[in-house]
Structures are given as C-alpha cells and as structure tokens.
Structure 1
Amino acid sequence: MRLDKSKYCAQTAVKMLSIVISAFVLAAPSVARDYFPAQIASTKFIYDPTNEVDVELVLAVDISQSMDTEEQEVQRAGYVSALTSQEFLDAIHVGPIGRVVVTYMEWGGVDEHFIVADWTVIQDASSASHFASKIAEAPLRQVQRTSIASALEKSVQMVQNNKYTGLRQVIDISGDGPNNQGGSVTDMRDRMISSGVTINGLPLMMKSNKNTWQAMLNLDHYYEDCVIGGPGSFAIPVRSKEGFADAIRMKLVMEIAGLRMPEPSNYLHKASGREPVRCNLFD
C-alpha cells in the first residue's frame, strides 16, 4: 500500500512538472517581449572603474541681472582660486577613491543654463588647473530672471545623465536673490533631494550692508529654509567681496571631504530661534 501511494505521488509530480514546462514554453515569447527594453538598456552599460569618484559636484552659479560685472568677476576669481587651492586638493586626496568629478554651470531664468566647464575628473593639481582655466577664460554673460527651481532641476538632470558613479552627489548653488520664476522653489527642492542629492547654498550678500532688498530679505535665512536640503546640507553666506574666495574654498573643502562645520560658527546659523521665511513670497 505504501509503495502504491509513492508510485501515485511520483506520477502526479511528473504530470505537474510537464504542465509547468509546457506553460513556460508557451509563455516564453511573451516574457521575452516584456523584458526586451530592459535587456536593451542593460547592454548599454559598460563598467569602467575610472568613472568611479568620491563626489559628483555641480557648481551652479547665478548670473542674473542683479549680479553686476564686478561681482561676476569676483565670483569667477573666487571659484578659480578655490579649485586650485592646496586645501581643495588635500580634501580630494583623503577620499577613498581620491578623485572627484565637477561641472560649472551658470544659470538665470527658466531654461537659461550655460555649461561653462563640462564634467571633468579632478584628482591632482594639473586636472584642477585645467578645469579652472575653462572658467577663467569663458566670457561673462548676464540674464534677466532668477529661477533657482529651474537651476536645481537642471543640476540634478546633469548628475543623473553623466557617465560617472559617485559615492555622493552634491549641488552647490550660489545666488544673490530669491527664486522669482519657475514655480515653487521648495517643491522643486523637495523633489530633487528625494533623488538622493544634497543641495548646499552660497547666498551672496555682498550688498547687504546697504539699504537693499537683500538686507531686508535676510537671504541667508531664505537659503536655509527654502533652498538647501539633503544629508549634511549647509549654507555659507558671503558678506563681502574680500571674503568671497575664502568662503568658496571652505565650502568646497567641506563638500568634498564630507565635513560639517562645528558650531558655533561665524558662517553658520541655526534656523531655530527666528521666524521661518515665507519661501513662496517671490515664486
């Protein structure tokens, strides 16, 4: 009786197996069609260890009409000085991979984005100097509006569409005014950081010692509440032309090395203890 039961179970198992095989064969063409796009996409990816970097960094620089020629020249010179500084190179060398990839984009209104220096791997003084020279030699330009929202979206698109693989992705956005075009800056900020990037800010307040809208707005507070976000995000305000290069150098070193400024600091201020900024005031 036990033998007959075993024989019956074996026959049943064989029948079930044959049914499964038949179903698989019949469904095979349909399955192949369903996964065909994914197979095509996967064949385009070729692993290249030289494309691995510690940080993918977008330097997104404001060139709206409120930035006069002198301020733009100071801004360019500050980035060139910071990118070729020994402190910046030392920060790169302490990384596990020892190289970063950087691009320099100027921005204004919606869809006004100008790639001054495209993605470049920086790992030593020579590659840093080569990248900085592209920034120094490019002609100055000026546009009308200020769309931080559009600049953030473009920056993240650049990160997602490059060929590099970084341990961290950082958007470094500088500007001297609030978002006034392109929709809600906070909505865009939240969407962009959900992709995994960190957004740091460099609010330019070089005119804030005068009776200007910058002083009334508290642009540093605006960047803290409305623009920056993501793991370890921070903003460093620039309050004078003389301190521009130092602020940028400090910011780049912190971004590349993944550092946070100890508190208290003359550069960083806690948002707590003050009224929150109305981020949609100019959107």
Structure 2
Amino acid sequence: MRQLLLLCALCLAPPTAQAECRLALALGLDVSDSVDEREYRLQLDGVADALETKSVQAALFSMPQAHVDLAVYQWGAPNQQHILVAWTTLRTSKDAADVAAQLRSSNLRFSDPTTAVGAAITFGTELLKERGLCWQHTLDISGDGPSNAGPHPGGLPRDGWITINGLVINPLGRDNIDKDLSLTQTLEHHYRTHVIRGPGSFIETAVDFDAFQQAMARKLLREVQILTVSETTTQTIPSDLQ
C-alpha cells in the first residue's frame, strides 16, 4: 500500500516539481576473513555488474522526478566497517557506471575472521539517517555466515522507518549445519529470524559466490521498482536476470 501511495503522489506531482529521493538504499557486503580474494572480487564486481544490468537500470531511471540514492559499504568484525561508495544520486547510466568503477577498483580486505551482523546493521542504519528526507529507506545485508561477534542482530531495535533485506550466500552453510548457527539450522533461517525486518522485507539467495551477481541484480530490481498494487504483487523476472 505504501508503494501505491507513493506512485499516486508521483502521478499528481506537477512536471516542474523539484526532483525528490524516492529511496535511500544502503548495501552492506560481508568481507570478513572467511571471504577470500576471489570471493571478495565476485561480490564487489557482482554489485557493479548488477547496477549495469538493463532491467535494473530501467527500474532505477524510470521516474526522473523521484530518484534513488545509493551507498555501499563493506563489513566484517564489530569495529570493521568501511564505506566503498558514499551517497550517490542515481539519475543516469553514467551515475551507475561511476559507482561500478569505484567498486571494481576497491581492494581493501579485512583480516578478522569474525562476522558481526549486528554491528553491520547498526552502521547501515546510521548511514541511512543521512538521507532522512528520502521517502523510503532500505538496508541490504549480504553475508555467507551467521553473526558470531558483537551485538546480536535479533536484539537490535526494530525501527519502523527502515526495511532490512538479506542476500544469503550459500544458504546451507559450509557444512550444511554450521556450528555457529546455534538453534537455527540454515543461514537463510538465521537471516529470516534475526536480520530482515520492516515493510516488505525479503531474502534473496545465492547458492555460492559465483551466483552472487545474478542474485544481487534480482534483489536490486525488486527493491527499486515501485509496485502499483501492493507489496505482495507477483512480478515476472526479466530474461536478463534469469
């Protein structure tokens, strides 16, 4: 329903109205020491490739009067967060290409093996506060392991103004049942129980890092599209994302 109201507001806005931010989107990528150099590149280059996918760009730029603002950061241990791309307004394919170039040139890896999902969420939430005037605020947490350091994500405040989605890499864990998952048996269940929250929140999965780019593209498309009926509307996946 929220997306329907936003769409109606766009339709009623005069053509000369000042462009507004319809979505602030922050992407948080897990690059703890469990992620090797190849997997690091598959993640950052995967986001870059996803942003240059035709269907994603069509959704990003479909409403010039209401743009998307994007920021990307990497995370690992409780005190390890680093902004890869500062807040950038995406209005044209050149804007997306500039973001992609920044991601492809980044090579900072973390050495701490712990995975602090809660700290990553806290960092991303503070980042989204910098875009308070945007109509919607979405945080994406991508990861290949459960939270095992810092504040537990399930204990964090559930702010109603933010939606947190997840991109789970290898949802069965390294040994099908990871000892760090405690009472949960899969990483996907861990994210569904403790990480995602807010209106319309969802999980996208990648069976491994090689499938990350396609999963990221599917997730971005779902997030930047404004639904015309409701948040549960079923949409056909474009051929370039299948």
Q: TM-score range by the shorter chain?
A: 0.7 to 0.9
Alignment pair present for 1:156 and 2:121: no
Unaligned runs of 5+ in 2: 1-16, 238-242
**In 1: Cα distance, 2:111 partner to 2:155 partner:** 24
Alignment pair present for 1:257 and 2:225: yes
Alignment pair present for 1:57 and 2:33: no
- Aligned residue identity for 2:200: G
Deviation at 1:96, TM superposition (A): 7.0
In structure 2, the residue matched to 1:213 is 178
Deviates further, 147-156 or 91-100: 91-100
In structure 1, the residue matched to 2:95 is 127
How has the CA–CA distance of structure 1 residues 67 and 91 changed in structure 2, closer, same or farther, with 3 Å as cutoff? same
Q: How many residues align?
A: 212
Q: Do 1:54 and 1:96's aligned partners in 2 also have CA atoms closer than 8 Å?
A: no
Q: Do 2:18 and 2:65's aligned partners in 1 also have CA atoms closer than 8 Å?
A: no
Q: How does 1:149-228 map onto structure 2 within 5 Å?
A: 149-162=118-131, 165-188=133-156, 191=157, 193-205=158-170, 208=173, 213=178, 217-228=185-196
| Greater helix fraction, Structure 1 or Structure 2 | 1
Q: Secondary structure at the match of 2:209?
A: coil
Alignment pair present for 1:116 and 2:84: yes
Alignment pair present for 1:143 and 2:111: yes
Q: TM-score, normalised by structure 1?
A: 0.68
The structure with the largest alpha-carbon Rg is 1
Q: Do 2:26 and 2:70's aligned partners in 1 also have CA atoms closer than 8 Å?
A: yes
Identity within the alignment, %: 27
How has the CA–CA distance of structure 1 residues 98 and 89 changed in structure 2, closer, same or farther, with 3 Å as cutoff? farther
**In 2: Cα distance, 1:173 partner to 1:211 partner:** 21
| Greater strand fraction, Structure 1 or Structure 2 | 2
Q: TM-score, normalised by structure 2?
A: 0.79
Unaligned runs of 5+ in 1: 1-47, 266-283
CA deviations over 1:158-193 (Å, ceiling 9, x no partner): 11124x6211100011011111122221121xx1x4
Give the counterpart of 1:244 among 212, 234, 240: 212
Q: Do 2:160 and 2:198's aligned partners in 1 also have CA atoms closer than 8 Å?
A: no
In structure 1, the residue matched to 2:14 is none
CA deviations over 1:227-282 (Å, ceiling 9, x no partner): 0000000001110333221110000011111455749x9xxxxxxxxxxxxxxxxx
How has the CA–CA distance of structure 1 residues 181 and 222 changed in structure 2, closer, same or farther, with 3 Å as cutoff? same
Q: Do 1:89 and 1:123's aligned partners in 2 also have CA atoms closer than 8 Å?
A: no
